[in-house]
Chains A and B, each alone.
Chain A
Amino acid sequence: MSSVRDHVLDQYNSRVYKNRKEHVITIGEKESNEVVANTRTIPGIITQRGCCYAGCKGVVLGPIKDALIIVHGPIGCSYYAWGTRRHKAESDVRDGEEAKSYLEYCFSTDMQESDIVFGGEKKLKQAITEAVSIFNPPAIFICSTCPVGLIGDDIHAVAKWAEEEYGIKCIGFSCEGYKGVSQSAGHHIANNQLIRYIIGTGDKKPKKQYSVNILGEYNIGGDGWEVERLLRRCGIEVVSVFTGGTSVRDIKNAHLADLNLVQCHRSINYVADMMYEKYGIDWIKVNFIGTESCRKSLTEIGEYFGDEELKKRIQEVITDEILNNADEMQYLKSKLKGKTAALYVGGSRSHHYQTLLKDFGIRTVLAGYEFAHRDDYEGREVLPDIKPDADSKNIESITVEQDKKYYRVYLTDEQKAALVEKGVKLNYYEGMFKEMEEGSIITDDLNHFETEEFINILKPDVFFSGIKDKFVVQKGGTLCRQLHSYDYSGPYAGFQGAVSFGKDILMGLSTPAWGLVRAPWKKVPVLSATLGGEE
């Protein structure tokens, strides 16, 4: 298979080749599957990556429904993040406390030339004043865009002013688009401020005996709601979700949960780590995508709490959910078995969906991440080997100390050791590689050229990617399903979600139009001739 990789990379000029050869590998080709990730995209290469702002506002903060997010900058940045990511949410009341949803609204300071020249702080303050007067939000987040950092507006000072002036929570996020090398920097910046200013500020204790936070679940298409439903069925309380469908109201109590479940490792691992340091809360890496991985994740949660009754209930729920969907899953598998797939998504779905594809007998021939780090590919054991470069050094990394009031240890060292015996790994993510077959191709920061080339050679039945790729790939005759937005379908999480996913793939592959691409006159010769003497 390595010839496939070489065939594609050999077409580059030497400078690009030198860079890309470190990002594209074939699993099993070398002794260690090492990949370079989280480095700059070469200018001019058509990358699918976005910016720091997209990772901070778009991914991590955007779903927090009761925070009114003012994007400080020219109009575009806020406009493009308006309702475009399918992180569903609705206003709700919990223990008598309401969390309203501002997600239908788009707020911006709509900076004009004079604001760039003379500074935008005055306008930002005025915008906050107007937001408070009209919308009366419990919290305001300020997100910076590129020019704000360049002209030196101090959004954090403005946030402090707003807190004093209006008695609300106001937090600044310096997530200028040029920071870092991708959305990843924005995740980190958002994580830092959440742990600094929100987590740990509430005191509503969970009511149930066992409680968790779900980290890195953004409720795309309602995934988070489905996972919450499953956990509730098992009798586990969900204190907060980071950040799909959630609220400041809930996140501020996150430190009172017993365990953190990490779905998307890339975007939220900083919060998981810092909560472990500060509050002693362990985290386990879960994956609620796919029936087998869902079963494994729920079982491990039961093992963590160690309560026999809870474990029994969890197994009952799993059995019931699997049985409920068994016929459909079997049918779908009979149709999809033997197909191949390629995945190129953000920082975790390329891994998560491989397990769901396996449920159907679909093999992954290529996978890559848009903005992951090496640990997302190779596992957290490589963390000590990752040397920070100039770009990552620019992103603040904060350290936290044990919280005097709330730090607590849930499991003793002996209990933890017993868990490890059972195969439950605490505070660890194994990465994508270990589950992948030898010979599969890995492409970090997959670009347009490589997408086309690899698809031509590997000919997967379906390519999972985003909107910018979708029609490129489909024009070439290969089904492309968006795994960022689920093509406006979903939820795909949980046991029922697996069925929806399978149906969507089958629908995509079976659509009659694929058979109509060639016009009939292209299949017959234009001229018909007769031989001499024939009538």
Chain B
Amino acid sequence: MLDFTTNEIKERSALRVNPAKTCQPVGAMYAALGVHKCLPHSHGSQGCCAFHRMFLTRHFKDPAMASSSSFTEGASVFGGGSNLKVASKNIFDIYKPDIIAVHTTCLSETIGDDLNALITDIEIPEGKYMVHCNTPSYNGSHITGFSNMISGFINYLSVKTDKKSDKVCVFPGFVNPGDMREYKRLLTKLKVPFTMLPDTSGVMDSPMTGKFEMYPKGGTKIDDIKQLGECKNSIALGKFASEPSGEVLKRKCGVEPINLPLPMGVDATDKFIMTLQELSKEEVPSDIEEERGQLVDIMIDIHPYTYGKKVAIYGDPDTVLGIAAFALELGMIPKYMITGTPGGAFERLGKELLNRYAMEDCVVKVESDLFELHQWMKNDPVDLMIGGTHGKAVARAEGIPLVRMGFPIIDRYIHSYQPLVGYRGAIRMAELITNAIMDYQDSHCDEKDLEMVM
């Protein structure tokens, strides 16, 4: 397995091997699926749309509906304006969404299609909407695309107003429907009225009813996006996936953002809960406090299995930082933290976390890839990997367990229904990590050492 990966590290400046990121448009497509009755539209050649739908479907095991401008060579020469025009007519005619959310591709970006102008020229049926964002694949990553699409919705729809409500706008970060449900539960418990943008729960984890719904019940309502300007604050969860959207809402509508890390682990969830408490001026309900207590109780119970264990964490920047924060709380050593997504803040925030726990000899690297991570592991091994599916060959090659968290997980089921965020999410993370370590012990220890009680 991965026989060409050796411990001899050679400098690379051009060849990306086994990436830890993908391109912008898939993130934009995922964000757009989190708006009610929205059809994401890929302005480029068919392959992009096909790949992105395939990838989202494989992660969520649920339909990911989206359309394409189906560029041919002609469109690539003369521009995709007429493709978009024809597409919008057909989409409103046949698939009847309330809103089409267009994102670009490296093709339409390279030829310079001006989406603002193109959309202005399109006749949009009464009461329907068409918005867009630019997602050049040669820039940023799927995380950038996700946040760009959210900004696109705000730019087109949200209105600046003097009217203020009690509502808070929540930018959830690039997380699963299970996480979004957990946010909503906590917000409701803390009595904070909110609009969450996007909200893929009820869309990408929709139930089996015997009838396919092109637009399931979930998703942020268009009217709620329009009214985001009335929010008293926004909460942007995650530096990379959410903060830019908070900035856009501030610029456009003057809504002051509160920037927080993804609420993963005790400390980050505490910060999230404290923020909600401050916003609602309500006391933290006893059952939330009970959950927190359960979590800490569990962490103390399991510490003999987690303490001092070295872990390699890879994936999306906000998620990696969140997992690392919790791993540190468990007494683990986040030996390697990598992301493929560019952005210097990752290394800074990662190092801050490490410093807080006086961790030395750990590596945090942005714009890295799984090949590089594997090479480091060859030189200085770890006990465990945490990340998406694409690390499975590395884990197998090194004979260590892999705990699947983040995006994409295309070789397991159910993960997207369950949270990683909040105290409950942390309890789940603790269970996943401990089980992996303990299962490994059970299957690898000497027979005479197999423990009945652990």
Contact = CB atoms under 8 A, between A and B. Distances in A.
Interface of A: 12-13, 16, 40-54, 70, 73-80, 82, 84, 91, 100, 102, 104-113, 115-116, 123-124, 126-127, 129-131, 133-135, 145-147, 149-151, 177-182, 390-391, 394, 448-449, 452, 466-468, 470-477, 513, 517-518
Interface string B99-124: 00000011101110000000000000
Contacts of A16: 90, 93-94
A73 to B, nearest CB: 7
Interface in B1-54: 1-4, 10, 12-19, 21-23, 25-26, 41, 44-48, 50-54
Interface string B72-106: 11111000000110111111011100000000011
B18 A105 contact: yes
B61 interface: yes
Contacts of A467: 54, 57-58
Contact of B90 (A45, A129, A135, A394): A45
Contacts of B289: none
Which residue among B12, B67, B83, B106 has the maximum number of chain A CB atoms within 10 Å of its CB?
Answer: B106
A111 B138 contact: yes
Given A150-B76, A150-B110, A50 B94 contact: no
Contacts of A471: 57, 61-63
A91 B94 contact: no
B23 A475 contact: no
A505 to B, nearest CB: 20
A129 B14 CA distance: 9
Given A43-B86, A44-B94, A74-B136, 11 more contacts: A50-B46, A53-B47, A74-B137, A76-B137, A78-B16, A78-B19, A79-B21, A131-B15, A390-B74, A449-B95, A473-B212
Contacts of A74: 23, 106, 136-138
Nearest to A476: B212
Nearest to B22: A79
A127 B13 CA distance: 8
B393 interface: yes
Contacts of B371: 105
Given A41-B46, A76-B25, A76-B48, A47 B70 contact: yes
Interface in B233-260: none
Contacts of A134: 4, 10, 12, 15, 17
B46 A47 contact: yes
- 10 A-B pairs closest in CB distance: A51-B47, A76-B23, A44-B87, A44-B90, A126-B14, A74-B137, A110-B16, A43-B87, A146-B107, A80-B51
Contacts of B137: 73-76
A325 B401 CA distance: 39
B106 A73 contact: yes
B221 to A, nearest CB: 22
Interface stretch (B202-210, B275-283, B314-322, B445-453): B202-210
A112 B138 contact: yes
Nearest to B142: A76
Which residue among A40, A41, A47, A467 has the maximum number of chain B CB atoms within 10 Å of its CB?
Answer: A467
B136 A113 contact: yes
Contacts of A470: 57
B45 A178 contact: yes
Interface in B174-220: 206, 208-213
A75 B93 CA distance: 34
A104 B393 contact: yes
A89 B74 CA distance: 38
Nearest to B57: A467
A48 B50 contact: yes
A49 B10 CA distance: 39
A82 B20 CA distance: 12
B294 interface: no
A51 B46 contact: yes
Contacts of B91: 44
Contacts of A73: 106, 137
Contacts, number: 253
A80 B22 contact: yes
A474 B211 CA distance: 9
B141 interface: yes
A183 to B, nearest CB: 8
B55 interface: yes
A387 to B, nearest CB: 17
Contacts of B10: 130, 133-134
B311 interface: no
Nearest to B13: A126
Contact of A179 (B63, B73, B84): B73
Nearest to A124: B14
Contacts of B88: 44
Contacts of B70: 40-45, 47
Interface residues of B, number: 82
27 contacts: A16-B94, A43-B84, A43-B87, A44-B90, A44-B91, A45-B67, A46-B66, A50-B50, A51-B48, A79-B21, A79-B22, A84-B54, A102-B4, A112-B139, A116-B136, A131-B15, A134-B15, A146-B45, A146-B106, A146-B107, A177-B46, A177-B107, A178-B71, A180-B72, A182-B46, A471-B62, A475-B213
Interface in B377-394: 390, 393
B17 A151 contact: no
B149 interface: no
B424 to A, nearest CB: 25
A145 B67 contact: no
B306 interface: no
Contacts of B53: 468
Contacts of B18: 82, 105-106
Contact of A147 (B74, B138, B213): B138
Contacts of A80: 22, 51-52, 54-55
B46 A49 contact: yes
A80 B53 CA distance: 11
A294 to B, nearest CB: 30
A450 B199 CA distance: 29
A187 to B, nearest CB: 14
A13 to B, nearest CB: 5
A108 B106 contact: no
Contacts of A13: 89-90, 93-94
B89 A44 contact: yes
A116 B110 contact: yes
Contacts of A45: 67, 70, 90, 94
Contacts of A43: 68-70, 83-84, 86-87, 90
A477 B50 CA distance: 24
Contacts of B2: 104-105
Contacts of A82: 18, 390
A130 B50 contact: no
Contacts of A52: 45, 47
B225 interface: no
Nearest to A183: B47
A417 B309 CA distance: 73
A108 B19 contact: yes
B413 to A, nearest CB: 12
B30 to A, nearest CB: 13
Contacts of B61: 471
A259 to B, nearest CB: 35
Which residue among B1, B109, B137, B213 has the maximum number of chain A CB atoms within 10 Å of its CB?
Answer: B137
Contact of A70 (B15, B47, B106): B15
Contacts of B364: none
